[in-house]
Chain A
Amino acid sequence: MPAALVIEDDPRFSERIVELLRQEGYVAACEVDGEAGLRRGAAEPFDLIVLDRMMPALDGLTVLRRLRELDVRSPVLVLSALGRVAEKVEGLESGADDYLAKPFADEEFIARVRSLARRFRPEPHPEVLLVGDIEIRIKARTVHRAGKHIPTSRKEFELIRCLAENAGRFLSRSYLLERVWNLRFDPQTNVVDVHVSRLRRKLDDGFAREALVSARGEGYKLDATP
């Protein structure tokens, strides 16, 4: 079973994260301040480190820099109430692999944990993604549904690829904006909705079952059930 270290001073968050990680099959250890977290992270090997940015004793980014100096290469997901772009960039430059602003939806946390796990998995990335009757070829950048070719624009391909990698799970708008458009802010108009519905028209027209599902307050998902 993979092991995770949660360094977070807020017990309610800590509890919630541990529970989410448990659902994802991790055994999670907790530390409540930066110093203890740094000692633990340096002493034991972890498959994932979830790190809060603002903490007593030693702040998250300092812990992160020290860990990287000690050649700890575990993927690190930084959590923070400071969700601003500049701070995200600063976090990523300090050696974080991903940065998630509080508050976040459970689904979004899980999507990021999975994405990190995929990136750090030793085996090569799959060339073909299969979700129900949808087939996505990564290198050729083609999408087929039940053998029928679905033409997609550059961003539409990135969108369906991101949804397929997290098939069966709802992905939030902000997660898609960050992953597909590399945007770290929410535009006023819901541009994601419009892009998704355009993709949905291409994907679901002529098929009885809706593959691309949206739910208010949750986001969008690619349904895996046939």
Chain B
Amino acid sequence: MSGLAQVFRRSWFARVVTTFAAMFTALVGLVLIGVWLAATNLIAESARQELDADLASFGEVYAQRLLPGLREAVERRALDIGDRRVVLLIGRQGETLAGNRDRIPADLLHADATPRRFGAYLGVSKPLLGGFTLALAHERTRDDILLRRLAMALGGLSLIAVVFSLAGGYVIGQTALARVASLNATLTKVAEGDLSARAPGAGGADEFSTLSARLNATLERMGVLVAALKAIAERIAHEMRSPLAHLRADLEDARKSAPAPLAGKMSDLVADVDEIIAVFSALLDVTLTEAAAGDPHGLKSVDIDAVVDEAVELYDAVAEERGVRLMFAPRGDAQMLGDRHLLLRMIANLIDNAVKFSPAGGDVRVGVERVGADLVIEIADQGPGLPAGFETRAFEPFARAQETAATPGHGLGLTLVQAIATRHGMKIRLHNSAPGLRVEIRGRALEALPTAPAA
């Protein structure tokens, strides 16, 4: 039951189809009930009229030809009608004078001159001048069979109506669903970074085609903007880096011939220029990496264990110097589609943070785990964690928590980490696990080729 509730909650079309089927069925039901009532009335009415007419004609025979004529007429009629109709002429002492029954059925003892229902009969009983009684009746079983047949026919019709309404709803639902699903598929691709994805069926004139066409126009526009962003970033790279490079070269030249105190100052200036270039490059990297999200170009099968191992090897000396234990146990069989350099940079950045914020004697644990179809890379430290509420801002460019102002860094590390994750369709989550911060990166694992035999 809860499964069905789930379907209704999640599918607009399930709700529409069910509502449609219910309304259609109710309508058909109402019509059929109307037909049933009309038929029942019609049958009863015709029986009544027949009884009235019979009563009238027998009354006329009695008036003209008296008892013998009536007796003869009743006998004749008794032969004509089947078992299910009753015609009886009863004498003064209650004896049967003519008719198709030996005596009056119990149900009809209280019948009177108006045709009405009495138990199993629709009947009428009329006293005649001279103390005789004429009883006429239709056994209702005859009508019942007729009505039962009608009921079966109508029931079949309602069943067909329900089936048709469900089938109709399903077909309409499926058609609309297929088109919505294709729009959803397109948007999923876009969300994963493939800006070249376009919704199909934009050529027609209906509402869905219009929606597809509008969506495609929006995507087209987005593509143009991203391309423009990339172009301007590259332009800036070229226009700004050359003057900076000249500045750096000239400073270096000047330093060589400068006297000692000035040379020291100039070394500082060269370092400052390098810092400007570093921030600039990092921003450029973030922009271009984000712009490349979803582009499969340049992605290859990467052994995540090996990449993590390299990052750990890069930081082992730093960790040792700070008295931090950096631990990683490769799990084997951890392949992912990616850019090795970028993934290494992402993991190195996170290990850099973890080691930087760890207290002396603390542990930094790095793990790679397979969870279903995903690979989860986890980096956990025992540092101060993130200040409350900072989790959402941590990935913004130049966002730095107040408490870390004394720690070196330009505030673009996590922004780049996020950009690289986006580039690979990975999701990052930060958990404050008191003590420490646990960073979880989850991405789709690359399945080992099934043809490879287990040696």
Contacts and interface: CB of A to CB of B under 8 A. Distances in A.
Asked if A and B bind, the verdict is: yes
A88 to B, nearest CB: 9
B288 interface: yes
A114 interface: no
B313 interface: yes
A22 interface: no
B314 A103 contact: no
A191 B270 contact: no
Contacts of A168: none
B276 to A, nearest CB: 10
A106 B241 CA distance: 16
Contacts of B277: 103
A103 B238 CA distance: 11
Chain B binding surface SS class: helix
A215 to B, nearest CB: 8
Given A187-B348, A189-B352, A89 B245 contact: no
Interface in B309-353: 310, 313-315, 317-318, 320-321, 339, 341-342, 344-345, 348-349, 352
B317 A194 contact: yes
A159 to B, nearest CB: 11
Interface string A62-94: 000000000000000000011111100100000
Given A86-B298, A103-B249, A217-B270, A187 B241 contact: no
A185 B345 contact: yes
Given A82-B238, A102-B245, A217-B267, A189 B298 contact: no
Contacts of B252: 105-106
Given A103-B244, A189-B318, A216 B344 contact: no
Interface string B282-306: 0011001000100000100000000
B169 interface: no
Nearest to A156: B317
B163 interface: no
A16 B249 contact: yes
B249 A54 contact: no
Contacts of A187: 314, 348-349, 352
B355 A195 contact: no
Contacts of A216: 267, 271
Contact of A184 (B249, B314, B317, B341): B341
A85 B245 contact: no
A117 interface: no
Nearest to A82: B237
Contacts of A182: 310
B261 to A, nearest CB: 14
B72 interface: no
B238 A188 contact: no
A183 B341 CA distance: 7
B234 A82 contact: yes
Nearest to B319: A194
B34 interface: no
A85 B238 contact: no
B413 to A, nearest CB: 6
A120 interface: no
Interface string B226-255: 000000001001100110111011001000
A89 B298 contact: yes
Contacts of B352: 187-189
Given A84-B284, A106-B252, A195 B317 contact: yes
B314 A85 contact: no
Contacts of A103: 241, 244-246, 248-249, 273, 277
A78 B203 CA distance: 47
Given A103-B249, A188-B408, A81 B317 contact: no
B185 interface: no
A83 B244 CA distance: 14
B321 A194 contact: yes
Contacts of B355: 189
B191 interface: no
A170 to B, nearest CB: 11
User: Most chain-B Cβ atoms within 10 A of its Cβ — which of A13, A54, A102, A103?
Assistant: A103
Given A84-B284, A103-B248, A191-B315, A186 B278 contact: yes
B270 to A, nearest CB: 5
Given A103-B249, A181-B310, A187-B314, A85 B341 contact: yes
Interface string A173-205: 000000001111111110100110010000000
A10 B241 CA distance: 12
A104 B352 CA distance: 25
A62 to B, nearest CB: 16
Interface of A: 10, 12-13, 16, 54, 81-86, 89, 102-106, 155, 181-189, 191, 194-195, 198, 215-218
Interface of B: 234, 237-238, 241-242, 244-246, 248-249, 252, 267-268, 270-271, 273-274, 277-278, 281, 284-285, 288, 292, 298, 310, 313-315, 317-318, 320-321, 339, 341-342, 344-345, 348-349, 352, 355-356, 408-410, 413
Given A85-B345, A186-B278, 16 more contacts: A10-B242, A13-B245, A81-B241, A81-B245, A82-B237, A84-B284, A103-B246, A103-B248, A103-B249, A104-B245, A181-B310, A183-B345, A188-B408, A188-B409, A188-B410, A216-B267
18 contacts: A12-B246, A81-B238, A82-B238, A84-B284, A84-B285, A85-B339, A89-B298, A103-B246, A103-B249, A105-B248, A183-B341, A185-B285, A185-B341, A187-B314, A188-B349, A188-B410, A191-B315, A215-B267
